[in-house]
Amino acid sequence: MHELKKQLNSSLSIVLPAKNEALNIGPLIRRIQALKLDAEILVVNDGSTDDTAKIAQKLGARVITHPYSLGNGAAVKTGARNALGDLVVFMDADGQHNPDDIPILLRKLNEGYDMVVGARHPSTHSSIVRRFGNAVYNLLASYMTHYRIEDLTSGFRVVRRDKFKKFLYLLPNGFSYPTTCTMAFFRSGFHVGYVPIHAGIRKGTSHISVLKDGSRFFIVILRVGALFSPMRFFLPISLVMFFTGVSYYAFTYLTENRFTNMSLLLLLSSLFIFLMGIISEQISSLHYKHIEE
């Protein structure tokens, strides 16, 4: 532990996005302080209407308050902009994440990673629907990035702040910020590691809607995938259109001995989608240039 503190914790910030977490924020801060990591504890109070900010300040945490709620992702971005440490730990303020896992994530980061994510065991998801949804998101995101993603939506992670800040403009204000930053890190060639964790059960009401936020996660995966790996998005669609057009032409040729307008439309659509993918690849290369600067 002493060696870990010497190597990493002199410039460590622990960011806790919090909205109406008066029930959970106090015990969480005390558990973090008990680790004696010599780290800044930064609570981003996202427009809470309870005593979240007062409790955090009383316990010695640094508090930044949004005058009204902007969303979990917005709170994370505020934390990243204002954190003093070169390394930043993000964790939920609802008590689901175990502070004892922080040193484990830091040790993993010290192996040469740019971001380390606490990957939750499937049994720790609160419902079968969320387990299934998370598994589907992981598979889809793994395809889009061409890397194995173990937990796409985990909010418990440690990052190198200079790398993380490159993607702040991409992060949404809602709950899908982990989705965006994970895919962005992979597609930009930064090193991402995983550490298995067990998430607890939060006290109080969750702010996440399975249907509403689940559809947002899906859209974010497609959006970021199209931005960072356009041909992996456009090429399959183009191929489906092409083979459908060829198959339909073969069918009409054999049955009616003619080439139909529908076959032409499908083949032209395939060509246009393929060309859109090529253009998107060129635009994406400009984005990579921005990341490297």
Out of 153, 173, 207, pick the residue that ends a domain. Answer: 207
Within this chain, do residues 6 and 150 fall inside the same structural domain, yes or no?
yes
Q: Which two tokens stand for residue 149?
A: 């993603």
For residue 156, tell me if it sits in a domain.
yes
One domain, residues 199 and 249: no
Q: What is the rounded end-to-end Cα distance, in angstroms, of the chain?
A: 35
Tell me which of 207, 239, 261 is where a domain ends.
Answer: 207
What is the per-residue DSSP string for 71-135? -HHHHHHHHHHH--SSEEEE--TTS-S-GGGHHHHHHHHTTT-SEEEEEEPGGGSSSHHHHHHHH
Cα separation, 145 vs 148, in Å, equals: 8
Give pLDDT, residue 9.
43
**Angle at Cα 209 formed by Cα 207 and Cα 210, nearest 5°?**
140
In a domain, 222, yes or no: no
Q: Is residue 221 part of a domain?
A: no
Q: What is the pLDDT of residue 188?
A: 81
The pLDDT assigned to 204 comes to: 52
- What are the Cα distances from residue 121, in Å, to 93, 109, 127, 194, 196? 19, 20, 13, 12, 7
Same domain, 235 and 203: no
Are the beta carbons of 43 and 63 closer than 8 angstroms? yes
- How many angstroms separate the CA atoms of 56 and 62, rounded? 8
Domain CATH number, residue 28 = 3.90.550.10
Domain check: are 65 and 170 in the same one?
A: yes
Decide if 15 contacts 76 (C-beta within 8 A): yes
Do 243 and 149 reside in the same domain of the chain?
no
Please state, as a whole number, how many other Cβ atoms lie within 10 Å of the Cβ of residue 238: 19
Could you tell me the residue range of the domain that residue 252 belongs to? 230-292
Domain total in the chain: 2
Q: What is the pLDDT of residue 240?
A: 94
Spatial CA neighbour of 105 closest among 116, 119, 113: 116
- At position 143, the amino acid (one-letter code) is Y
Task: Pick left, alpha or beta for residue 258 (phi over 0 → left; psi -120 to 50 → alpha; otherwise beta).
Answer: beta
d(CA 142, CA 167): 19
Tens-digit pLDDT string for the chain (293 aa): 544 544 444 489 999 999 999 999 999 999 999 999 989 999 999 999 999 999 999 999 999 999 999 999 999 999 999 999 999 999 999 888 999 999 999 999 999 999 999 988 765 555 566 666 667 777 777 777 677 887 878 889 999 999 999 888 888 887 678 888 888 888 788 999 999 998 766 555 555 554 555 566 667 666 766 776 788 888 889 999 999 999 999 999 888 888 889 999 999 999 999 998 888 877 777 765 555 55
